[in-house]
Amino acid sequence: MSIQETRISDEALTFPAGTGEASVKNRIEGHLRYHYSRRLFVQDVEESEDGYYIKVGIAYPRDVSDCRKQDNVLKMVNIGDVQTLYASPMDEGYYRMKLPDRSDLYDAFKQRHQDILTRLDWSMARAIYSKVYKLTPVRNQLNSVIEIVDFIRHETPDSVRRLENAQTTSNTRDYLDVFEELGYIRIEDGTMLQGPKMESADIQGLQEKDIIGDIIDEGYYLLRQKLGLAMLNHFPKFANAYYLSALRRSDPELHLSVEDIAENLQAEYQDGTTDTWKLGRKLDSLHDVGVLKFQDKEVTSREDVYNSVEPNIPSLG
């Protein structure tokens, strides 16, 4: 094998040692793109004593044009940290890197993309909670949380059984598990006591809304996954269908049409089921509580929301 030869065979990439990490990246990136997709990129190469660790990502195009200016702006969104490949040393100064199946790489990309959206939804939920808390669907789904907070503050110490009998939900225990994990209650021999977080909230004189906001902030993933409180990411998702584009363009004045928002929902959240009429009603609700501005079928940002979300967002590409 020529010392300059880099090739793919038997689902593995073989390449000669370079003169540094940048040299290795230049040698292998084109071959990986040819094998997988032109959208793949080598994000990082790290040399170690036992070989090279090569971190790859995948890019995809998104239209972030302003519907007023019709400026036709296309941005490549880079999703990094999709997978880390390992190249082990061979004889004669060569390295061999086993290549994952295309389907496995694509699954890793989808999972990484979903992780980024979940973190973005969490950031948005934190930023807009005090606003969407006023919306009836949100308060209805948080009713059990609201009741438990009230019970802990005004009735404890008391038995868990009493709360279970008083609530209409059948999964009070699941809620209490989350509250206990977050430090808002302690349960001893069937008796519920205030946890350190609730004691601190009472000392500070926090209002119900503030306490529930802290619970959502700290327990966003638990509340969604363990209790299935879909409303926690329902309105953040619709808000982010606009703010994703504004943040990617670093433009809080960006204007998008309802159709643009629907396209973002489909492309980013794989939600192609929301009719534009129904989407307009969601945007109306978000406008009414100050999450975004929606007028004449066009959406733009609220400065306070944009500024609140921007510093806390994950890498959006």
Of 225, 249, 272, the position where a domain reaches its end is 225
Looking at the structure, tell me whether residues 36 and 70 fall in a common domain: yes
* Domain assignment of residue 96, yes or no: yes
Instruction: Output phi, psi for 233, to 5 deg.
Output: -115, 5
Residue 88's Cβ-side half-sphere holds a number of Cα atoms within 13 Å equal to 3
* Domain assignment of residue 1, yes or no: no
Q: From the CB of residue 76, how many other CB atoms can be counted at a distance below 10 Å?
A: 11
Strand arrangement of the beta sheet that strand 185-188 belongs to: 158-159, 191-194, 185-188
Looking at the structure, tell me whether residues 189 and 264 fall in a common domain: no
| CA end-to-end distance (rounded Å), the chain | 39
pLDDT tens, per residue, the chain with 317 residues: 444 588 898 899 999 877 678 888 988 999 999 999 999 999 999 988 889 999 999 999 999 999 999 899 999 999 999 999 999 998 878 899 999 999 999 999 999 999 999 888 888 988 898 888 888 888 888 889 999 999 999 998 999 999 999 988 888 999 999 999 999 999 999 999 999 999 999 999 998 888 988 898 888 888 888 888 877 778 999 999 999 999 999 999 999 999 999 999 999 999 888 899 999 999 999 999 999 999 999 999 999 999 999 887 666 55
pLDDT of residue 2: 47
Looking at the structure, tell me whether residues 244 and 301 fall in a common domain: yes
Distance (Å, whole) CA 306 – CA 62: 20
* Domain assignment of residue 123, yes or no: no
Asked if 216 and 208 touch (Cβ cutoff 8 Å), the reply is: no
Expressed as residue numbers, the domain containing 306 is 233-312
Three-class secondary structure of residue 156 per DSSP: coil
Distance (Å, whole) CA 12 – CA 9: 6
Kindly give the pairing relationship between strand 12-16 and strand 94-98.
antiparallel
* Domain assignment of residue 117, yes or no: no
Looking at the structure, tell me whether residues 154 and 219 fall in a common domain: yes
- Flag whether the pTM goes above 0.85: no
Looking at the structure, tell me whether residues 178 and 255 fall in a common domain: no
Looking at the structure, tell me whether residues 89 and 37 fall in a common domain: yes
308-312, Cβ contacts within 8 angstroms, sequence gap of 24 or more: 308/126, 308/127, 309/123, 309/124, 309/127, 309/243, 309/247, 310/247, 312/123, 312/126, 312/127
Looking up residue 200, the CATH number of its domain turns out to be 1.10.10
Looking at the structure, tell me whether residues 240 and 297 fall in a common domain: yes
Residue 162's Cβ-side half-sphere holds a number of Cα atoms within 13 Å equal to 12
Over its C-alpha atoms, the chain yields an Rg (Å, rounded) of 25
Looking at the structure, tell me whether residues 159 and 219 fall in a common domain: yes
* Domain assignment of residue 218, yes or no: yes
Alpha carbon separation from 72 to 62, 101, 167, 173, 266 (Å, rounded): 11, 35, 54, 53, 19
Of 46, 70, 100, the position where a domain reaches its end is 100
Kindly give the pairing relationship between strand 51-63 and strand 191-194.
unpaired
Tokens for 124, please give them.
Answer: 């948005």
Of 192, 225, 258, the position where a domain reaches its end is 225
Q: Say how many domains are in the chain.
A: 3
pLDDT of residue 298: 97
Looking at the structure, tell me whether residues 282 and 304 fall in a common domain: yes
Looking at the structure, tell me whether residues 221 and 240 fall in a common domain: no
Asked if 54 and 45 touch (Cβ cutoff 8 Å), the reply is: yes
Looking at the structure, tell me whether residues 149 and 94 fall in a common domain: no
Looking at the structure, tell me whether residues 286 and 269 fall in a common domain: yes
